[in-house]
Amino acid sequence: MTRKLFWEDMYLNEFDAVVTSSDGSHVVLNQTAFYPQGGGLVSDTGTIDGVRVIDVINEDKNIIHSLDRVNQFELGKNVHCVLDWPRRYSIMKMHTAAHLLSAVIHKKSGALITGNRIAPDESRIDFSLDSYDKQKILTYIDEVNDIINAGIDVTIFFMKREEVLRIPGLIKLANVAPPNEEVLRVVKIGDIDMQADGGVHVKNTKEIGKVILTKLENKGKANKRIYYKLG
């Protein structure tokens, strides 16, 4: 099992690790700060001993780093790893912004998330809305930006799964149950939002900057897509 350093310190951008598995183009380490793709978030990129990491996935509790070229790391080798920090930090800000946007829209309309893609330059979230009005969406985003400017702390803790399921509004994903784990990681943004979530976030909403609506799309009945970037 790979130790998830990104859960212990989401601002860690360099670390040392030991190679536990390697087939030339895929490497498993005893611990990693590289966040694997999942939960709608794209993966981190960076380097392992100078070799480019182009993708990261989570498989059977091991985190697998895909390299841009064949490089046979020896088992037990100590390696130095570096994340593409500007990319990671943008993803962190985008993800916390997504939580705020989903919280405000859920509060105002009851809509749940039906899909999302959190990326460094532009992100999108699909909501279970039958219809939407652009001006109304803009008022939601204004509310999100007010929350961002308030400088609210983001806290992380763990709860038993049965406790999470008993709290109304903690699950904001339509038709998706939290992972079948006894203990779940929970992200809380003041009194604004609390969700079961395994992703990376900033420590305070002020770090986000500003949410800017870029596009709206109708993806079908009860599925409306919102694109946004940060400014």
Within this chain, do residues 139 and 38 fall inside the same structural domain, yes or no? no
Token duo for residue 28 = 């498993």
For residues 128 and 76, state if they share a domain: no
**Domain ranges, residue 198:** 88-230
What's the pLDDT at 74?
Answer: 94
Residues 226 and 202 in one domain: yes
What pLDDT shows up at residue 174?
Answer: 57
- Round the average pLDDT of the chain to a whole number and report it: 93
Domain boundary among 50, 83, 116: 83
| pTM of this prediction exceeds 0.85 | yes
Report the CATH number at residue 79.
2.40.30.130
Burial of 210 (0-12, 13-18, 19+ CB in 10 A): middle
What percent of the chain is predicted at pLDDT more than 90? 81
Give, as one character, the DSSP assignment of residue 10: T
Q: Indicate if 55 and 94 belong to the same structural domain.
A: no
pLDDT the model gives residue 204: 98
Tell whether the model's pLDDT for residue 175 goes beyond 70: no
83, 103, 128 - which closes a domain: 83
pLDDT of 20-46, one tens digit each?
Answer: 999 989 999 999 999 999 989 999 999
Percentage of the chain beyond pLDDT 70 is 96
Tokens representing 77 are 């080798």
